[in-house]
A = this chain, B = another copy of it.
């Protein structure tokens, strides 16, 4: 679960997760989200927070009013793992 993704898995994941991209200089992925206002951004973040706590895998994220920026990586393996994929998939559902 916390093993680093293979290059093949990584390529598949990035093809699946629209809008997510690798961060230069880090084995991590990021995506920015824009909502109508703070209330909608916070609603989204609250759902992500519950999922993160349930998965015991938490994002690095920031928020400015209606914008949310999320970085995912796994500290246990110092890079991308299945955990990031799981959380990213949930995030995509909540952002839809």
Contacts and interface: CB of A to CB of B under 8 A. Distances in A.
B63 A38 contact: no
Nearest to A63: B61
Contact residues on A (Cβ < 8 Å of other chain), bracket: 10 to 19
A65 interface: yes
Most interface-central of A39, A46, A52, A62 (chain B CB within 10 A): A62
Interface in A51-79: 52-53, 58, 60-65
Contact of A60 (B39, B60, B62): B62
A24 B58 CA distance: 30
7 contacts: A38-B52, A38-B53, A39-B53, A42-B49, A58-B64, A60-B62, A60-B64
